[in-house]
Each structure stands twice: as structure tokens, then as C-alpha cells.
């Protein structure tokens, strides 16, 4: 058995959130630069130039990419041969509290959805745990802003809707969102499972590298087709009109009931904020 030092977990969670809020990955910036080259609208190109400038300044000065530094979402992949000396949830929340306090990141979490009193340190985090064979311990963090999260949906389709129904649902969600999630967007899609599983699939899809492809040929073709269709909507960068609305679509799938076809759409802004590490 392998014992994980929870103080190290706290340190790494803190480090990852600080980095995720200020450092857009180079492959994401490259995709935005490619979008600028393809953008047919003059205003759209200007907007993309400002986004690139903002992202580079944030990295150089270690400042937040956006004032909305999100709710803290943490994915833990834990080997079955790993044990802890204490409360893993407490260790994660200590790391979130430190990151958001030390780097003066905006605290956006309220203690209750109806009384709306701020917790003051951006905790508690939303923690998802996956147990796998072996002694691996991986941390993925994703500070998720409300502008894009509020545009996300779960829809329980029926099998008769088929792939065309899936595509229509996703396009309807993107069209309804318009410029609110700060395009060019990354679209995470979960198809299959059940009500809660498809939502988690869509969230996990946003953790994938922006330039990867699904190993599933059906999902891969759907990703490519949807990106093309979304870029034909005319929404454009930040909703000002143009040909580059979407940087990538990521589709994750899971087996489902014979009578169901659940589809979740989780939209992410152009910053694609997530970081990971192995301990």
C-alpha cells in the first residue's frame, strides 16, 4: 500500500489552482491564434487579438485571466492501493482556501443557494473521486466560471431522436447561449449513462487536451461535425459576429438504458482553465 501525505495534496491543489487561474496552456493559445487567422470578421479578429494579449499578460504577470475565478472543481483519480492518513476532502479544501486567499482570487462561493452568504474563501470545492487499480494518485483541477456554466444543460432524449437529435440539441444550446459564455468556446458533451452520469461525462470532456481526438470513431466524427456547424452559427468571438465561435468540441460517451439517450452540454470559455499533476 502507498500512503499519500495530505499536506502534499494541499500544497499541490493550491499550486494547481493558482496556475489554472493565470496560465492558459500554450496549445490553447495556439488554437486561438489559428482562429484569428481564419476569422473573416474584422471585429472578430480584433477581439481574438485582445484575448491573446490578455492571456499572455496574465501569464507574464501571474494575474487572473478573468475576474471570475470560478467555483473550484477537483477530480481525484485514486489507486486502490493508496491510503490516506486523514480526510482527503479537508486536504483539498485547505488547498483551495490557500490558493484563493494567497493569490487574491475572487471568492465566488456562497454557503447556501438561497441565503447567498459568501463563504469568504471559495470553499467548499466540488470533488469527484474515481478509484482505479494500482497506486496512482492524480489531481485535476478546473476553476469553472458561472458565465459558461450557466449556459450548460442536461436533456433526456429518447433513442428515436438518434444522432441527429443529439446534434440539434447541442446546437440549440450553443445558439441559446450566444455570446454569454465568452466565445470562442470549448464544448464538452456527455452522451449516455443516465441523468447525472452524462453531466459528469461532459465536465470530464473539458479536461481533455484541446488538440486531442476521441479514440471512438463515432464520437470523433461528431466532434468534427459539431465544431464545423457551431462555427457556421455566426455568433463569433465574444458574440460580436464572425466565423470562429468554437475552438473545440469534446464528446465523451457511456453505455445507457435501452429506453434513454441522455445528453449533457457543458460549455467552457476560451480560457479552458484546468491543470493536473501526478503524485
pLDDT in tens, 120-170: 999 999 999 999 999 999 999 999 999 999 999 999 999 999 999 999 999
Residues 109 and 234 in one domain: no
pLDDT of residue 1: 84
For residues 140 and 151, membership in a common domain is answered with: no
Mean pLDDT of 19-36: 95
Q: Which helix (H) or strand (E) holds 215?
A: none
* Mean pLDDT computed over 106-119: 96
Rg (CA), the chain: 19
User: Are 133 and 154 found together in one domain?
Assistant: no
Sorting pLDDT into bands at 50, 70 and 90, what band is 272? Answer: confident
Verify that 79 and 12 share a domain, yes or no: yes
88-103 pLDDT, tens per residue? Answer: 999 999 999 999 999 9
Per DSSP bridges, beta strands 137-144 and 246-256 are unpaired
167 and 271 share a domain?
yes
Same domain flag for 80 and 207: no
Domain end among 144, 172, 202: 144
- The pLDDT score that the predictor gives to residue 6 is 95
Q: Do 214 and 267 share a domain, yes or no?
A: yes
Long-range contacts of 225-231 (CB under 8 A, 24+ apart): 225/167, 226/167, 226/170, 226/171, 226/187, 226/189, 226/251, 229/167, 229/171, 230/171, 230/174, 230/185, 230/187
Selection from 177, 262, 186, 196 nearest residue 226 by Cα: 186
Give the residue from 144, 167, 184 where a domain finishes: 144
User: Do 92 and 111 belong together in one domain?
Assistant: yes
The position carrying cell 480560457 is 271
What pLDDT shows up at residue 85? 85
Among residues 120, 144, 168, the one where a domain terminates is: 144
Residue 226 · residue 248 · CB < 8 Å: no
Whether residue 50 is contained in a domain is answered as: no
52 in any annotated domain? no
| pTM for the full predicted model | 0.92
Same domain, 152 and 132: no
Residue 31 lies in a domain: no
**Domain match, 129 and 70 both:** yes
**Both 138 and 15 in a single domain?**
yes
Q: State mean pLDDT over 79-86.
A: 93
Q: Supply the range of the domain harboring residue 88.
A: 2-20+65-144
Domain presence at residue 153:
yes
Q: Are residues 248 and 179 in the same domain?
A: yes
Share of the chain above pLDDT 70, in %: 100
Place of cell 484563493: 100
The pLDDT value given to residue 90: 97
Residue 55 lies in a domain: no
In whole angstroms, give the CA distance from residue 133 to residue 84: 16
Question: How many structural domains comprise the chain?
Answer: 2
Amino acid at each position: 500500500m502507498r500512503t499519500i501525505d495530505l499536506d502534499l495534496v494541499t500544497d499541490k491543489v493550491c499550486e494547481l489552482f493558482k496556475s489554472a487561474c493565470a496560465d492558459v496552456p500554450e496549445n490553447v493559445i495556439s488554437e486561438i491564434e489559428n482562429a484569428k487567422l481564419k476569422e473573416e470578421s474584422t471585429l472578430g479578429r480584433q477581439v481574438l487579438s485582445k484575448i491573446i494579449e490578455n492571456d499572455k499578460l496574465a501569464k507574464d504577470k501571474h494575474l487572473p485571466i478573468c475576474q471570475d475565478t470560478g467555483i473550484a472543481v477537483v477530480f481525484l483519480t485514486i489507486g486502490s492501493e493508496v491510503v490516506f492518513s486523514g480526510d482527503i476532502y479537508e486536504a483539498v479544501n485547505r488547498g483551495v482556501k490557500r490558493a484563493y486567499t494567497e493569490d487574491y482570487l475572487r471568492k465566488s462561493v456562497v454557503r447556501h443557494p438561497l441565503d447567498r452568504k459568501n463563504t469568504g474563501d471559495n470553499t467548499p470545492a466540488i470533488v469527484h473521486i474515481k478509484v482505479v487499480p494500482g497506486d496512482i494518485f492524480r489531481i485535476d483541477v478546473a476553476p469553472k466560471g458561472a458565465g459558461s456554466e450557466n449556459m450548460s444543460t442536461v436533456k433526456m432524449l429518447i433513442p428515436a431522436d438518434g444522432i441527429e437529435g443529439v446534434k440539434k440539441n447541442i446546437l440549440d444550446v450553443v445558439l441559446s447561449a450566444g455570446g454569454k459564455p465568452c466565445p470562442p468556446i470549448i464544448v464538452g458533451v456527455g452522451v449516455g449513462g443516465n441523468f447525472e452520469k452524462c453531466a459528469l461525462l461532459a465536465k470530464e470532456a473539458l479536461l481533455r487536451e484541446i488538440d486531442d481526438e476521441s479514440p471512438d470513431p463515432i464520437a470523433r466524427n461528431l466532434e468534427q461535425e459539431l465544431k464545423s456547424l457551431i462555427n457556421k452559427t455566426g455568433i463569433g468571438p465574444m458574440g460580436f459576429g464572425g466565423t470562429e465561435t468554437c475552438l473545440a468540441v469534446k464528446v465523451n460517451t457511456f453505455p445507457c438504458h435501452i429506453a434513454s439517450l441522455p445528453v449533457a452540454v457543458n460549455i467552457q470559455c476560451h480560457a479552458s482553465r484546468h491543470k493536473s499533476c501526478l503524485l
